[in-house]
Amino acid sequence: MASTYSTDLSLELVTTGEKAGLWGAITNTNLQLLQTAASGYVEVTLSTGTTTLSLADGSATANGKNLYIKLTGTLSGNASLEMPATTTGGNANRVFFVEDATTRGGAGDSYTVTLLTTGQSAGTQVPLPEGSTALIYSVGATPASNLGMLQKGFTTVTAASKTTYTAVPGDQIGVDTVANTVTITLPAGSVGDEVIVMDISASNGFATNQCTITPDGAENIQGANSSINLTTNNQSVTLFYTGATKGWQLKTNTA
């Protein structure tokens, strides 16, 4: 009888009495895979579209088996990183770290990076804030979910080249309004999500050119479906999503 393969890491499971003379090589490969899952590091280059990780059977080089995945590359469009939902052995359960080291670019909004399990709908994919590091789990057919933001990222919106930006949960946004006003659109939220917006203008800050924070259309800000304006130099606000009624609440409002 031929070998079978485990779920999750696709370790080769040798049938009793089979693979004479090959046990050493197979065992060593399995140990390498366990090491990769415990402490492995890999860099994956993104450009645009969906890049699918590998959980290939018995492969010690399959990049989806690593514990820590660093995303690199200069994006030319919105990009996604996909973890397979299954292996030959069944549903694939993976817990792994993802670090964003991509260069986002893009006119208007920066290009986005999302994380997903194969088959996951666009609306439930995990957005990865620019420059952040997150702990992600993917459980077979269950959509990929964010276990926590280990290191928040930071993105800059400079009015000289970009006057609008759509935030994702976990964003820390430095806004430079030296040349123009800027509008930040908040995302659809889940309870506990945060977005931080701060004035980083060298001159002509929010008092000269304001920063407008607007809901995405379906959400409220402080209980109303209307925008708020930041008009004080050096102002910094943290918005916390509390639920459908109040929506995004100002957790801090400092100058």
**What is the structure's pLDDT at 175?**
96
Secondary structure (DSSP) of 27-89: HHHHHHHHHHHHH-EEEEE--SEEEE----TT-TT-GGG-SEEEEESB-SS-EEEEE-SEETT
**Of residues 248 and 30, more confidently modeled:** 248
Dihedral (Cα; 91, 96, 124, 84), 10-degree rounding: -40
What percentage of the chain carries pLDDT values higher than 70?
Answer: 96
Q: Is 235's pLDDT higher than 90?
A: yes
Higher-pLDDT residue of 3 and 107 is: 3
How much is the pLDDT for 1? 59
Domains and CATH numbers, the chain: 1-152 (no CATH), 154-255 (2.60.120.640)
> Over the stretch 135-180, which tens digit does the pLDDT of each residue have?
999 987 777 888 777 788 899 999 888 899 999 999 999 999 998 9
Q: Which of 52, 100, 47, 53 is nearest to 73 (CA)?
A: 47
For residues 35 and 98, give the distance between their C-alpha atoms in angstroms, rounded to a whole number. Answer: 18
Tokens of 204: 């002509």
The mean pLDDT value for 221-241 works out to 95
Mean predicted confidence (pLDDT) in 88-96: 90
**pLDDT band for position 201 (50/70/90)?**
very high
Q: What is the mean pLDDT of the chain?
A: 89
Mean pLDDT, rounded, for 179-188: 93
What's the DSSP call for residue 124?
A: G
pLDDT at residue 133 in the model: 94
CA distances from 223 to 48, 128, 206, 243 (A): 37, 27, 24, 10
pTM, two decimals, is 0.82
The residue among 185 and 19 whose pLDDT is bigger is: 185
The values of phi and psi at residue 30, to 5°, are -60, -40
List CB contacts of 7: < 8 A, sequence separation 6 or more.
87, 89, 90, 91, 92, 93
Beta bridge partners of 167: none
Residue 136 is encoded by which pair of tokens? 């992600």
pLDDT score recorded for residue 109:
63
pLDDT band of 254, cuts 50, 70, 90: low
Residue 31 sits at φ, ψ, to 5 deg, of -65, -35
Percent above pLDDT 90 for the chain: 60
Residue 182 has a pLDDT of 95
Contacts of 145 (CB under 8 A, 6+ apart): 126, 136, 137, 138
- Quick check: helix, strand or coil at residue 170? coil
- Cα separation, 196 vs 209, in Å, equals 18
Query: How far is Cα 27 from Cα 68, in angstroms, rounded to an integer?
Result: 23
Mean pLDDT check: name the lowest of 98-102, 144-148, 191-195, 244-248: 144-148
Choice between 50 and 106, residue whose per-residue pLDDT is larger? 50
